[in-house]
Amino acid sequence: MADDKGIIVAIRENPERGFRLLMASYKEPVYWHIRRLVVSHADAQDAAQEAFVRMFRNFQQYNEANSFKAWIFRIATNEALRLLGKLKNSTMLSLDEVTADMLGTKTDEHFDSSDAITMKLQQAILHLPAKQQLAFNLRYYDEMSYEEIAEVAGSTAASMKVSYNIAKEKIIAYMNNND
Amino acid sequence: MDKQLDFEQVGKRMPYNVPDGFFDQLEQNVMAEVKADDTATEKPKQKARTVKMAIRTILAAAAAVALFFVVTKNLPTSESQTDTFEFVELAYNNLSTEDQEFLMEVYEEDEFINDNNAEYYDEDI
């Protein structure tokens, strides 16, 4: 699988071939990141597809001084927020508005309720304020650095580190109090 | 009792799944949309190219006509078409090499002028 620099070079030389490399590396992480935010499979599918199309259309706007992975996840995050905003008949939700929306029931046939501990963990994450939720998901599931997480969230690395640690404490407390 | 959550035990498992072959389908859908985008952006380019060619042809024709009038405006009124062509030829010979080349280039590359000439000669025959 190509690394980020290889993908960027490939897109510049041959956009279609380069973009296939990008999709090979990122289609699963981007989908799962969006899925954790929007919960339902159908919504995640729509948002992921739109996010990748936006990446292709806006590749010229990517600044190489920043992390390519963070750029990709920022577009994916924005697309998830845009979709949730559309579902609520508004243009785009703020991070904190999204949190409340995500608490609604959004389960479908692509939801496995048999694994109790993972279900509970997702419930705990969905109870977090959006910034903490984003910090936890990107650190725990996507293993991003705090600098990269800050680029995705439009914040600072120090702030995202605090958000992650608070999120982790809250999740532990939630798991202990909801046996 | 306060227990510590064992994140290692949970790992990265999630209570979510996707249909079989979903990620391949996602990639196909995205690539199809991106290619449709490319096709849509090619059409205006083709139109723009056609408009540019038309403008170039009109400008070339206008330049040729203008040069014809510049060449002939100081010539005495001729009594016959033959005299006129002789004067035009004389005037053409008096032009600089650069102007002559430009005039010939405009004439040779201009489809509008050449098409008209073709029709003219066809009618004569």
One-letter identity of residue B80:
S
What is the pLDDT averaged over residues B67-78? 59
Query: Are the Cβ atoms of A48 and B26 closer than 8 angstroms?
Result: yes
- Structural domains of chain A sorted by starting position, each given as residue range(s) with its CATH number in brackets: 4-177 (1.10.1740.10)
Answer with the residue of higher pLDDT: A67 or B113: A67
Q: Which of B10, B26, B34 sits opposite A117 (nearest CB)?
A: B10
- Cα A66 off chain centre by: 18
| Interval A136-148: pLDDT, tens | 999 999 999 999 9
Answer whether residue A116 shows pLDDT above 60: yes
Answer whether residue B125 shows pLDDT above 60: no
Query: Are the Cβ atoms of A16 and B14 closer than 8 angstroms?
Result: no
Answer whether residue A170 shows pLDDT above 80: yes
B14 in Cβ contact with A125 (< 8 Å): no
Domain ranges of chain B: 43-125
Q: What is the pLDDT of residue B79?
A: 53
Q: What is the pLDDT of residue A103?
A: 42
Q: Taking Cα atoms as reference points, which of A33, A35, A37, A28 lies closest to residue A111? A: A35
Query: Are the Cβ atoms of B17 and A176 closer than 8 angstroms?
Result: no
Phi-psi group of A84: left, alpha or beta (phi > 0 → left; psi -120 to 50 → alpha; rest → beta): alpha
Q: How far is A96 from chain B (nearest CA, A)?
A: 23
Q: What is the pLDDT of residue A33?
A: 97
Q: What is the pLDDT of residue A113?
A: 76
Strand partners, A111: B16
Query: Are the Cβ atoms of B16 and A41 closer than 8 angstroms?
Result: yes
Q: What is the pLDDT of residue B50?
A: 54
Query: Among A161-170, B41-50, B89-98, whose mean pLDDT is lowest?
Result: B41-50
Answer whether residue B13 shows pLDDT above 60: yes
Answer whether residue A106 shows pLDDT above 70: no
